[in-house]
Amino acid sequence: TYYNMSEGDDIRGSWNSDRHFEYVANPQPAVDGGEGGASVKLTAKQKALAKTMAKRTQSDPDGDPLTGAELGAGKKSPGPR
**Model pLDDT, residue 29:** 67
Domain ranges of the chain: 1-30
pTM higher than the cut 0.95: no
**Model pLDDT, residue 21:** 76
Q: Is the pLDDT of residue 79 over 90?
A: no
- Strand, helix or coil for residue 50: helix
| Residues forming beta bridges with residue 24, ordered by sequence position | 3
Render pLDDT for 14-65 as a digit per residue (tens, 0 to 9): 776 777 777 777 666 676 777 767 788 999 999 999 999 999 988 887 887 8
- Strand, helix or coil for residue 52: helix
Cα–Cα dist 47/52, whole Å? 9
**Model pLDDT, residue 14:** 74
CA angle 72, 74, 77 (to 5 degrees): 110
CA angle 28, 24, 20 (to 5 degrees): 145
